[in-house]
Structure formats: C-alpha cells, structure tokens
Chains A and B, each alone.
Chain A
Amino acid sequence: MKEFTETLYDACGQTFRIDKLYFEHKTDHQHLMIFHNSFLGRVMTLDGVVQTTERDEFIYHEMMAHVPLLAHGHACRVLIIGGGDGGMLREVLKHPLVEQATMVEIDQQVIEMAKQFLPNHSSGAFDDARADIVIADGMDFVRGSSERFDVIISDSTDPIGPGEVLFSSDFYAYSSKLLNPGGVMVAQNGVPFFQLDEVRTTRQKMGAQFSDQTFYSAAVPTYYGGIMTFAWGSDTPALRRHDLNVIIERYRRAHLTTRYYTPQIHQASFVLPKYIEDALATEPG
C-alpha cells in the first residue's frame, strides 16, 4: 500500500493513502504530486506538504475570496498572487461585480497541470473572459505593476519554501501601493497552533504597511493542526465593522452558492482564540 506522510512536524503529522497516483513531477527544487484518495478525492502535495484536496478546498477558497470581496462590497478589480490550481479564480469570478481578476502565477506548468489533473478546482474559470492570467513572479509583479486593485489575495505556499518572499515586508509594501482607496489585502498565513511565530511576524511586517491589520480564521481539515489564519491588511477599518445585515444583503445580491461561507461565519471568523490574541500582544521571538 502506498502512502504519503506529511513532513511538516517532527513530533506528529498526517498520512494519506495513495489510491492512485495521477501525476508526479520532480524538479531540482520541487517535488509535486497529485494522487487520488478515496475519501479526499484528488490531493496535491508539494515538497511533502498538502497544498489542496478536492474534499476541503471549498473552505479555503470561499473564505479567502468571499470575506474580502463582500467586506469591500463593490470590488471590480481583483489580484490573485499564486493560486495556480484555479480554485481562487473560480470563487472570485462568482461575484458579478468583478470585472477583472488578474491571477499572477510563477509557473505556467502548474496551471496546465491543474487544468488536466484538478479540473474541478478551476471549473472553467481559466476560460472566463474576465480572467487575466499573468505568468510572472508575484514579487516582481507587485513591484512593477501600475494597475490598481480593490482586493488582493495572496494564495501562497508555506513561508518555508518557494513562497517565502510573499511573506516579506517588501511584498506587503508593494501590494499596499496597488490597492485603490478602500481596498483590502488578504494572505494565507498558516496554522498558528504549530506556527504561532508566523502570526507575530506577519503582524509586525504587514502591520507596518496597513493601518488596520488583523487575522481571520477557518479550519481546513487537511491543513493539519486546527484553524488556519488569513492575514488581513487595509487602510479602511470600517471594512470589518459592517453590520451583519450589510453582509447578508451583499451576499444575497451576489447570488453566491457557498458550502462553508455564510455572512454569519464571515463576522465570526474575525474573532480569534485567546492564544493567538496573546501571541499578537508579544514581539516575535
């Protein structure tokens, strides 16, 4: 029997049965696998770490797309950094107000591979006329772009690895300059139960670029370790102080079909457990 065991943590971890291996790609610095698991459906792993599974990707993608877009309320132009599997693009393009969704992926091959082996993730989003696919380094793009966006979503890999630069002060600084007034940036920020310092570090680095910086959370079962956090950066604190009825109305007007996201979850997701609040009250160490 073939198995995949995650290599994130020394003391514990999770193991998946590989029922069928669809794709395996080994470059000098990356090892990518897509396999089928009878419960989770297709599972994509990179360098020993689960990236996404068909069974629970909806939680991650809905929460990273709908929370900032509905908090913004009239986002027309959205920038996605990373997100080569197309799941984030799919959720963003569900919003009728979105006129353009620019997705900056560093590797064309990831997109091709995802289209072929994870077609349910993008679910046709790559063919949407509003999708603007750019093959570039995310850092180079935010440094060089003169476009402006209402929402920026950083759908990166783990900070230890190829996505490291997407957790840097420079990345947050350049991104903040691409936001229209009233805009918001959100970024994948790991599982704080194991990686508490990442929350502290992001607070320090992102907080230096945005007057309003916080986190919201959701539990994605195959991101082992309980809730994950999403970093939130904006110069408009009002974006996360809406009355629930405002979000309910926006959700209704957008005609979204969701499986995890609800306006109530939206509001509640900004409430953080005490251990994270306590960590944010102390310096990174």
Chain B
Amino acid sequence: MKIVVCIKQVPGTTNVRIDPETNTLVRQGVESQINPFDLYALEEAVRVKERMIAAGVETTVTVISMGPPQVEEALRETITLGADDAALLCDRGFAGSDTWATSYALAAGIKKVGADLVFCGMQAIDGDTAQTGPGITCHADYSLATYVSKVEEIDEKRARVWRLLEEGYEVVEIALPALFTVVKEINEPRTPSLRGKMKAKNAQIPIWTVESMGLDAEKCGLKGSPTQVIKVFSPEHRAGGAILEGEAPELAAKALEVIRERCTC
C-alpha cells in the first residue's frame, strides 16, 4: 500500500500582527514549523503503515509539500518521524497559489506517487481554510473523510473511521483510494528516532516542477487561483477592561452582575 502525507511549512508562530501605524506585518522572530495538524497526519500514516506491515502488506509513507526551497528541511524532518521518503513541489510557477491551485498541484504529486491512501492535517494554522484536502479529491479520484479522529479498521480496500463533528462522532466506512483530513485527537505524534535521523540525513529529496509533473501552468500559482487577496489589515484591537481583586464572594458577586447583564437565559 502506498500512503502519501501532504504537509505545509507555516510560520513558527501565528503571533503576527499588523502595526496599525505603518500597516506592516510585524514578525517576531518567526522561524518555520511543520503545520501542527500535519504532524498528526504523518503520525497516523506511519501507524497505519505499521498496522499494514503487521498484516503482511508491504507499505510505504511518502511525504510531499508545495513551497519554496527551504521546505526541504521540513520534509527531512518528516523522515526522522517515520516517513520513508519525500518530494518537494517547488517552482516559481506555484507562487501565489490559493487553495484551488495548491490542491491541483498536490493532486498531481499524489498521482505521481500512486497513493492508495492520503493523510492531510485538518487545516493550516496560517491560512486556516481547511479547503486543500477536500479540493485534492476533485483533482484526483479519492473518496473523502474530513475531521477524522480515529482509523478504527483499515485494509487495502476500505477503512472504518470516526469523524469528529459538532454534535458527536460519525462512524463511516469508506472505500479506498481515500483521503483523510485529521484532527489532533487521533493520536500522539512520536519524537524522532535515531534510525529516522540517520535515514533523513542521507535522504534524496527530489524537486518536482510544473513541467516535470505535466501541469498546466495556467492553472498554477497566482494565475491559476480564482481568489485574490486584496487587502490585509489588523483586526480591531481588543483592550482589556477593569481588573478587580478581592475575596471570592465579593468577586463572585461582581461577576454575577456581569453575567446577568450578558446572559439571556
């Protein structure tokens, strides 16, 4: 079985804000990290691989990502965490992609690997859209389960998974090939292994381009993106109000006044 994990490299902190005077994005020592949700996706992929191998099915985990050259570090990190190999979709032609153009490119990468199963994180903590995973299933023929919190059963043909919805859990059976987006509840990501670190050090991570994947350049990058950001600005600054000290009964009484005022119950 071939499993692919899609990851995104995001800023090390989302504590970015706009300086309202100069309208510039103020970055505070921002390094990069692998999108936290993607670490859970990777962990689940590696666990499924372990389960399949235990069941006698040869299985590999390949991680792909679309981004600038430095994303290679992030891909190498995934190998320390149990991935077998990785590839980077990197091309100036991808710059400025919205979720449509990103899912178009990633789908091509997934098809190139020939994945039976794809894991993605629920959403990226910078864009916050949660659209890329589902979008991939339109560009490539994969069935979809979002907000997956448990892979209860899995074999080469189908899986039984739990989805975390607003009101509870929905248990579904889904035919492969499939793409899952996962929530944090699904597992506890492992730390890098020594063997993983050695493997990562020697790994060759190929660069896949618009041309090498046979993509239509008109559908990539800014040009291929149907949405456009026209403005970026600071949200209304929320200022703190009065702070009171005192004994619990006194504080409770004051709090209750506010609650009564605000509560329509």
A binds B: no
